[in-house]
Amino acid sequence: MNPADRVERVPPSGIRRFFELAEERDDIISLGVGEPDFSAPWSARTAAIDALERGKTSYTANRGRHDLREAITDHVRRYDLEYDPDTEILVTAGASEAIDVAMRALVNPGDSVAVPQPSYISYVPGVTFAGGEPLPVPTSADDEFVLTRKALETAGAADAKVLVLCYPNNPTGATMTRDELAVVADFVRENDLFVLSDEIYAALTYDGDHTSIATLPGMRERTIVFNGFSKAYAMTGLRLGYALGPEVAINAMNRIHQYSMLSAPVTAQYAALDALRNCADEVAEMRDEYNRRRRFVLSRFDEMGLDCFDASGAFYAFPACDGDDEAFAENLLREQGVAIVPGSVFGEGGEGHLRVSYATGMADLREAMSRIETFITER
């Protein structure tokens, strides 16, 4: 059997090699994890249990349960977003499915999709699987990994059909202010691009408020916003996300979704409904805890002399390692038993950096940082 060409064009994930290296030993401390170390709030878990006990195990409406879509409508008003639960929201199996479906719904064969990098590892393959041509737009530490007009112009993004955004960002932890987004929005409107804006880390913004690019003038009609329950509500394994966008885009996405997925998992939808209604305090507690760890990690890197900008969102720090990041990460793992992910795995602009997740308890985090310091000192 020969897999399709578009599958062959996507190389195995660079993260896989580090996963296999880390799996070789059982005494590691992992700062390589892209998911919360908390469990979902107990109230949301009991809602899922209750749904199962009541025998709620069937498909739901393709777009997701109506009460959940209404709750999402209410929830996103905190970001000044207003969407019609009947026509402008699609509930999906994780934000990942939403992004995949959006790519397939929008991208024609040969269409160019601009992907700022370093970026979450699924965007570029997603473009390829949709038949499009990924156009990397490298961002740099000099700009604190914020997407600039210059970066877009240099990469030739004016000719792209779609621009992907992710902020707060995985892997850098960088986020974007309203002013920085306004610059991007000007470029997008001038060149008639469509934006796929992955805002799944919005609730984990530490300095200032999260601004959705869809709230900027003229952007709502050319933007699909993605969010979900994995990060803020620690519900990664329940696989529940959603897309917000103009009716025509959501309809197109739903046309694919209804044939490929039918509906998002019903148990997770009940958990998500409860999460939106009852778990704001737990989200705030988790965010406060991440924020304390963030300050700790950034302070420790500063003391070690590793240059790290103020990663002010998500739960990642992205320090520079002064040299070959893959060798750094591999040697750190072998010599000190600390797993981190080299920045180059996340594309252009990530080289010479390290993704350090602080979604781990303080005791392990403290020990891991000491080991990194020892590793640097002994190098």
Partner 1 sequence: MESKRELLTLLLSNAREDTADLARQIGLSESDVESMVADLESEGIVRGYQAVVDWNRFTDEHVEAEVELNVELDRETGYEEIARRIAKFPEVASLRLVSGDYDFALDVEGESMHDVSNFVAEQIAPIPEVTQTVTHFVMETYKERGIEFDDHDEDDRLSVSP
For the bound state, the minimum distance from the C-beta of residue 29 to partner 1, rounded and expressed in Å, comes to: 9
**Residue 25 CB neighbour total at 10 angstroms:** 11
How many residues line the site for partner 1 (CB under 8 A)?
A: 29
Q: Is 158 in the site for partner 1 (CB under 8 A)?
A: no
Q: Is 341 in the site for partner 1 (CB under 8 A)?
A: yes
Task: Check if the beta carbon of residue 280 is closer than 8 Å to that of residue 233.
Answer: no
Q: What are the φ and ψ backbone dihedral angles of 174, each rounded to 5 degrees? A: -75, 150
For the bound state, the minimum distance from the C-beta of residue 159 to partner 1, rounded and expressed in Å, comes to: 29
With CB under 8 A as the contact rule, the residue among 7, 9, 23, 305 that binds partner 1 is 23
Comparing CB distances to partner 1, the nearer of 64 and 228 is: 228
Contacts 24+ apart (CB under 8 A), 127-132: 127/103, 128/6, 128/9, 128/10, 129/6, 129/7, 129/10, 129/100, 129/103, 129/104, 130/100, 130/103, 130/104, 130/106, 131/6, 131/107, 132/103, 132/107, 132/108, 132/161, 132/162
Q: Is 10 in the site for partner 1 (CB under 8 A)?
A: no
**Interaction mask 272-291, partner 1, x per CB under 8 A:** ----------------x---
- Cross-sheet strand order for the sheet of 341-342: 316-317, 354-357, 341-342
For the bound state, the minimum distance from the C-beta of residue 296 to partner 1, rounded and expressed in Å, comes to: 4
Q: Is 362 in the site for partner 1 (CB under 8 A)?
A: yes
Task: Check if the beta carbon of residue 102 is closer than 8 Å to that of residue 249.
Answer: yes
Coil vs helix vs strand at 375 = helix
For the bound state, the minimum distance from the C-beta of residue 87 to partner 1, rounded and expressed in Å, comes to: 32
Q: Is 366 in the site for partner 1 (CB under 8 A)?
A: yes
With CB under 8 A as the contact rule, the residue among 15, 183, 256, 280 that binds partner 1 is 15
With CB under 8 A as the contact rule, the residue among 120, 129, 316, 328 that binds partner 1 is 120
**Residue 364 CB neighbour total at 10 angstroms:** 14
Task: Check if the beta carbon of residue 145 is closer than 8 Å to that of residue 174.
Answer: yes
Comparing CB distances to partner 1, the nearer of 21 and 183 is: 21
Q: Is 18 in the site for partner 1 (CB under 8 A)?
A: yes
Query: Interface residues for partner 1 in 289-308 (CB under 8 A)?
Result: 292-293, 295-296, 299-300
**Interaction mask 214-253, partner 1, x per CB under 8 A:** ----------------------------------------
Comparing CB distances to partner 1, the nearer of 32 and 132 is: 32
Comparing CB distances to partner 1, the nearer of 60 and 230 is: 230
Residue partners of 87: CB distance under 8 A and separation at least 6: 247, 250, 251
The structure tokens listed for 12 are: 């195995």
Tokens 């797993």 belong to which residue? 339
Q: Which stretch binds partner 1 (CB under 8 A): 62-70, 183-191, 211-219, 360-368?
A: 360-368
What H or E segment, with its residue span, contains residue 114?
strand 112-117
Q: Is 186 in the site for partner 1 (CB under 8 A)?
A: no
Comparing CB distances to partner 1, the nearer of 112 and 357 is: 357
Comparing CB distances to partner 1, the nearer of 146 and 297 is: 297
Coil vs helix vs strand at 341 = strand
With CB under 8 A as the contact rule, the residue among 62, 87, 122, 251 that binds partner 1 is 122
Residue partners of 220: CB distance under 8 A and separation at least 6: 214, 246
Q: Is 312 in the site for partner 1 (CB under 8 A)?
A: no
Comparing CB distances to partner 1, the nearer of 154 and 299 is: 299
- Which residue type does 365 have? L
Please state whether 234 falls in left (phi above 0), alpha (psi between -120 and 50) or beta. Answer: left
Upper half-sphere CA count for residue 48 (Cβ side, 13 Å): 19
Q: Is 32 in the site for partner 1 (CB under 8 A)?
A: yes
CA distance 369 to 371: 5
With CB under 8 A as the contact rule, the residue among 35, 186, 322, 348 that binds partner 1 is 35
Comparing CB distances to partner 1, the nearer of 22 and 101 is: 22
Give the footprint of partner 1 on this chain (CB under 8 A).
13, 15, 18-19, 22-23, 28, 30, 32-35, 37, 120-122, 170, 288, 292-293, 295-296, 299-300, 339, 341, 360, 362, 366
